[in-house]
Amino acid sequence: MKRTLTILTATSLSLGVYATPFDKGDAKKGEELHKKMCISCHAARFGGDGSKIYTRKDRRVKNAEALKQQIATCNTMLATQLFPEDELNLAAYLNATYYKFK
């Protein structure tokens, strides 16, 4: 009984602290990086300001894990050598702005 309570308390505490998957990321830094490294190519291929790729109907990214994966894949493909922290910041920005995964 005591153990169950401890687990419940720990779970609700961590839910409270991490309300969204990328709360530890800095969305502001992510936005800067995104402007510098990501928009021009997306805009060239998909038109507009490059944000269509995140809002199109058949977008590929369907959950938080997939968003993390996609950013890591882009990073490897582009050889941009982002740090894990940069990827997290990018994820925080994209999620807060477009994807809104919980």
In the chain, the largest separation of any two C-alpha atoms, in whole Å, equals 59
78, HSE (Cβ side, Cα atoms, 13 Å): 13
CA distances 93 to 28, 60, 85, 98, Å, are 7, 17, 12, 8
Give the one residue of 38, 88, 92, 96 binding ligand HEC; rule: CB under 6 A.
38
The answer to whether 33 touches 90, Cβ cutoff 8 Å, is yes
Nearer to ligand HEC, 24 or 45 (CB): 45
Q: Does 96 bind ligand HEC (CB under 6 A)?
A: no
Number of residues that bind ligand HEC (CB under 6 A): 19
Give the one residue of 29, 32, 37, 64 binding ligand HEC; rule: CB under 6 A.
37
Cα dihedral 90/95/99/100 (nearest 10): 180
Site for ligand HEC in 41-80 (CB under 6 A): 41-42, 45, 53-54, 59-61, 67, 70-71, 74, 78, 80
Binding site for ligand HEC (CB under 6 A): 34, 37-38, 41-42, 45, 53-54, 59-61, 67, 70-71, 74, 78, 80, 90, 94
